[in-house]
Structure 1
Amino acid sequence: MADLRNVVLTHGQWPAIFRARTEADVLVALGFATSTIARMAETARRHGTTIETELLHGGEVQEESYYRRIADYFGLPFLDAIDPAHLVDMDSIDTQLVCPLQVRLTYPNRMPQIAMVPRAEKLSEFAQLLARLPDLTRSLVMTTPSALRRAVWEAGSARRVRRAATALFDLQPDHSARIVATGRQGLVFGTTITAALFGCMMRPDILLPLVHAVVSCAYLASLSLRFVALFDQKFRKRSPKSAEAPSGPLPVYTVMVAIYREAGMVSQLVSSLERLEWPRSRLDIKLVCEEDDTETLAALAALDLPAHIEIVHVPPYHPRTKPKALAYALPAARGEFLAIFDAEDRPHPHQLMEAYERFRASGPELACLQAPLIIANVDESYVSTLFAVEYAALFRGLLPMLARYRMPLPLGGTSNHFRTAVLRKVGGWDPFNVTEDADLGLRLYRLGYRSETLRCQTLEDAPVSLPVWTGQRIRWFKGWLQTWLVLTRNPILTAREMGMKASIVFHLMIGGMLLSALLHPLILLFMTNAGLTLISTPLSQIPGTVLGLMLLDATNLFGSYATFLGLGVGSMIGLEKLKVGHRWLAVPLHWMMTSYAAWRALNELRTNPFFWKKTPHRPSRKT
């Protein structure tokens, strides 16, 4: 590596830059060894980048040392930090977050200056310009890309965070959960419930059996999608999709991770992200952290982060949610593709490459790819075991089936891979929806895009205690309720946008999940009553309609447990099944706790709809 600190350059050496015909010549003139430049040039050719980019991302030279030496070479002032008070904030300045080149610095008592980030490939032209116009040196300063981005982030933070919180509601209010329920929805729900209660009080002999039948049939319908997925799992031959390995330079890939109160997780997170198979010069990782989360920011500052990892500070602004933080960082994404991970994630190193291969082999209508989430701490507690079974059913059973039949996918909250342009076009994440993933997957489908699933997994650790599980599940159910309410504001329009079949799948998937959780205690009550009736009354004296309802209730109850276990355990590999062991016996308790969380979520939607319950994490104990 060239030690630029020991190179003393003066204006007299400018002819070396004048004579430079290529970027390599310029860098040799700056003091780099010819062998180093040749090696970096070959890497740049493979990656489709510049030699300068490979030098900075490959550890050949530190960013500040590199740009300071260029400033010394031209006799220009160097700023290692820019005071954001000297920037005039406007929408156009946001382009500097993507490609930092230059900004205008204004001062109260002297002429403005241009703070520029020089590029090696342009330095020969720049030298010739200064030779012709030497007075320019009085209005120029040089800085680093990082210093320029930090100043731009801070100068426009108030404008950007306000836009992140309000843009979807302002531009596409029909897709925003900021209004929890419309007046029409409130009228319909209120009228239906009032009429049912009034009818049951006036004619209980007629209405109570009718309500029983309606509830049981609705519950059975909510299980139907899982029955279909279970059948598909058992009888469909797996034919994994393959795509040709990419040849030629790879595009820039952005990876965003929203982290909050995760000081203990940042070391594991950075290590996991560093294992991703992608050229570092084409990787744009953004760790999005709340500005007042001082502990996490201090933990990040203590790490020696590489050049492709940037920390984005999100100013405090309501709502304090993960999607608001992601929406704040989205305008700065440099990648053609964008992946979302969580702080506790350990993504498969090949996941980005597989996603790119799939995007490249598919048409532009494929907007998102969901990687399967697999629980690593299966055997740590009853809670984590049943969580793992549930995740296996969803990410390795239900979602792949929906993708094969081109149905809408309610995405998981992490390991989503997007075409960045499409993500921006549809409005990004809804800051007011606390399960922004499911909402975004359905919105993509409504607007004519598709989502599919990947094979390369992401490992996570599930909650191991019931209080943590309950808090997380309440937030999930609240977000699914928000999503269902958004899509049922105008059910006819939604059905027209999605198509009738996909609209039915949506109601079975989201509405059915909510309904089955809320009504499960009632199904248990029906079964208890049926058992007491069978004990006290001879079978021949029980009316046929009553026996039919008993059979329906039994199908609902045991079908809930059978599909949960069959789809979940059936999607697991042998070692996971062994780790489940006898803990599957706790499935009835799991369903009751799920119902408890759903009812809590229904109340919280009324009292505190946008509250984001933080799920605490700890470093993984698994390899």
Structure 2
Amino acid sequence: MHGRLKTRPDFAFNARRTATGGQLTILLLLLIGELAAFVFLPGADRVFAILIQFSFLIVMVWRLAILRASRTRPPTMPLDEAPRRRYSVIVALYDEAEVLPQLVERLSRIDYPVDLLDGYLALEARDEATIAAARALDLPSWLQVLVVPPGRPSTKPRALNHALSRIKGDFVTIYDAEDDPDPLQLREAAARFAAEDETLACLQAPLRIRGRQGGKKPSPFLDRQFAAEYAALFEIALPALARMGLPFPLGGTSNHFRVSALRAMGGWDAWNVTEDADLGFRVWRRGWRMGVLTRPTYETPPGPLFLWLPQRTRWLKGYMQTIMVHTRTFDGMGWRGWWAVLMTLGAALSAAAVHAFAVSWVMLAFLFAAMAQQPPQTPWTGVAVLTGGAATAVLTTLVGARRAGVPYGWKDMLGAPVYWSLLTLAFGHAFIRLIFEPHRWDKTPHAPDLPANEILPETGALIADSGRTAA
């Protein structure tokens, strides 16, 4: 087991300041060194190209490794023997009056002893419409409205921390406004926590995409690609990392914690716009373990490009914040922890940064060659590495989609490079926003889900049945 963290979490792991002076100095020296190498060292461009190809090769091998590791599924727990431990549920909401009735109806279906449930709708004090809508509803006896007082920053993790100071449970989970959790998810988590020792601090439920929200323009291409991307993450990558005993970035919802562990870490970083990704690595630094569940939470895709782009921008900006925060100190991480950071956050950022340029490079090389009626001058080793990397990415996505029960056919595979190229656009937005608006929270608007018979024709048979689970 890696060493425990010595540095106080509330000092070291806070994204209020994006980068320290030392980090900025190192980044500047690396940039100057790279530019100097290109100017003064002959052949530096070839060395750089080889390093990029080698990096792609490592990621390709890693994808095959996690695909193999993900075949070992989480243990099946006897739910009828789940321990009688108090469970808290927190849902942080802002400007969600329209979707609130649907959310409350879904939360009321949670199958857990009512006398052991402790739930909070954490609502911002300035959000009068959602507060009024919540108080007008007939809430389950265990669910109450909690008004979060004004303060900075005005973010979801700050609202969660306010609720964390008041919850009464031994375990806690968080949900989002659009979530439809499996009713037995809490029972499975409680049984897993009871079956393992106290070092198991967190469990992540799989998130699966289905249907779309009402009032949003259909976006079949983005919806299908987004659903498949989620499947690759939650059905392949996270189960594999858990199986290997490595840390991973948590999803933004449906993470289940031991309350004692969460409070010991100081809760969520209110200044990080992907507080979930940050918290996964803080769990690891403490010497604790993470795991995954089998019972999913269903969500809807963000929708068309003008809604998808801000969401992905926030995710990538938060990944940048998380890397900057966690490289301030090396205490408690160990080489396995740093490898996990590199292969999750680092790989996601690097891939997003180069996708569009790599795709354009290959397409232009073959286009110019065809126009000149000559073989392409592109180095075949580079093309082979890029093609192999794309093939392993598609394979991982295909297997994940099959497990999640979402469609992913040959047209989706051919369209994947276009979707990947859009990530480069999001990366550029994220980098600029990190500099000028590091703590701005780009919220995705939500609306009630469309009925099943309205979903299928427009989204190409994305899952509509909330009771369906992957085989």
Q: Which moved more, 1:330-339 or 1:576-585?
A: 576-585
Secondary structure of 2:95's aligned partner: coil
Q: Report deviation, 1:243.
A: 3.1
**8 Å contact kept, 1:230–1:563:** no
Give distance in 2, aligned partners of 1:220 and 1:283.
Answer: 48
Deviation at 1:228, TM superposition (A): 1.9
Q: Whose Rg is larger?
A: 1
Paired position in structure 2 for 1:501: 336
Task: Kindly indicate whether the alpha-carbon contact (under 8 Å) linking 1:517 and 1:598 is maintained by their aligned counterparts in 2.
Answer: yes
**Counterpart in 1 of 2:382?**
552
Higher relative contact order (CA 8 A, sep 6+): 2
Q: Does 1:416 align with 2:262?
A: no
Cα deviation digits, residues 298-355 of structure 1 (max 9, x gap): 1112212233111111122221111111011111010000011101000000000000
Question: What is the correspondence of 1:533-544 to structure 2 with a 5 Å cutoff?
Answer: none
1:78-89 equivalences in 2 (<5 Å): none
Paired residues of 1:392 and 1:567 also in contact (CA < 8 A) = no
Task: State the partner residue of 1:187.
Answer: 25
Matches within 5 A, 1:387-398: 387-398=226-237
The verdict on how the C-alpha distance between 1:559 and 1:297 changes in structure 2, with shifts beyond 3 A counting, is: farther
Show structure 1 runs of 5+ residues with no match.
1-168
Q: How does 1:227-238 map to 2 (within 5 A)?
A: 227-233=64-70, 236=71, 238=72
Structure 2: stretches of 5+ with no match in the other structure: 1-6, 213-217, 453-464, 466-471
What secondary structure sits across from 1:413 in the alignment? coil
**C-alpha distance in 2, partners of 1:244/1:454?**
13
| Structure 2 residue corresponding to 1:217, chosen from 54, 58, 74 | 54
**2:208 match: secondary structure:** strand
Q: In 2, are the aligned partners of 1:369 and 1:451 still within 8 Å (CA)?
A: yes
Residue 362 (structure 2) aligns with: 527
> SS where residue 263 of structure 1 aligns?
coil
Q: Distance in 2 between matches of 1:389 and 1:322?
A: 26
TM-aligned CA deviation for residue 360 of structure 1: 0.4
Q: Using the alignment, how far apart are the partners of 1:231 and 1:404 within structure 2?
A: 11
CA distance in structure 1 between the partners assigned to 2:348 and 2:83 by the alignment: 44
The equivalences for 1:9-20 within 5 A come to: none
1:457 maps to which residue? Answer: 296
After superposition, the Cα gap between the structure-2 partners of 1:345 and 1:533, relative to the gap in structure 1 and judged at 3 Å, is same
Which deviations, in whole Å up to 9, do the C-alpha atoms of 1:196-233 show, x marking residues without a partner?
22433455x52222332233333443444323223445
Question: What CA distance in whole angstroms lies between the structure 1 residues aligned with 2:85 and 2:404?
Answer: 37
Give 1:603 deviation, angstroms: 1.1
1:163-174 matches, within 5 Å, as 172-174=10-12
1:177 aligns with 2:11: no
Aligned to 2:3: none
Which shows bigger deviation, 211-220 or 462-471? 211-220
Normalising by structure 2, we get a TM-score of: 0.87
* Separation of aligned partners in 1, 2:82 and 2:420: 51
| TM superposition shift of 1:513 | 1.0
In 2: Cα distance, 1:375 partner to 1:603 partner: 29
Q: Distance in 2 between matches of 1:385 and 1:363?
A: 39
Q: Please, which moves more after superposition, 219-228 or 588-597? A: 219-228
SS in 2 for 1:217: helix
Distance 2:384 2:410 in 1: 25
Alpha carbons 1:277, 1:353 under 8 Å: kept = yes
Deviation at 1:526, TM superposition (A): 4.2
Taking the aligned partners of 1:248 and 1:568, their CA distance within structure 2 comes to 33
- Which moved further from structure 2: 323-332 or 308-317? 308-317
State the shift of 1:384 in Å.
0.9
Q: Letter of the 2:99 partner, please give it.
A: M
Q: Deviations over 1:231-290 (max 9, x none)?
A: 445xx4x45513344548612110000011111111011011100001212111100011
Give distance in 2, aligned partners of 1:292 and 1:531: 56
Q: Give 1:589's aligned residue.
A: 418
Query: Which deviates further from its counterpart, 501-510 or 333-342?
Result: 501-510
- After TM superposition, the structure 1 = structure 2 runs for residues 148-163 of structure 1, keeping only pairs within 5 Å, are none
Q: Partner of 2:165: helix, strand, or coil?
A: helix
1:181: how far off? 0.8
Q: 1:528 to 1:580 in 2, by over 3 A?
A: closer
- For residues 43 and 282 of structure 2, the distance between their equivalents in structure 1, rounded to whole angstroms, comes to 41
Find out whether 1:199 has 2:40 as its counterpart: no
CA distance in 1, matches of 2:336, 2:265: 22
Cα distance in 2 between the residues matched to 1:538 and 1:444 = 55
Aligned length in residues:
440
Q: CA deviation at 1:552?
A: 2.9
Equivalents in 2 of 1:472, 1:329: separation in Å? Answer: 24
> Aligned with 2:257: secondary structure?
strand
Amino acid at match of 2:274: T
The aligned counterpart of 1:308 is: 142
Show CA shifts across 1:115-156 (max 9, x none): xxxxxxxxxxxxxxxxxxxxxxxxxxxxxxxxxxxxxxxxxx
Q: Which amino acid aligns with 1:316?
A: P
SS of residue paired to 2:233: helix
Partners of 2:356 and 2:422 within 8 A in 1: no
3-state SS, counterpart of residue 254 of structure 1: strand
Instruction: Look up the match of 1:144.
Output: none
How far 1:570 moved relative to its partner?
1.1
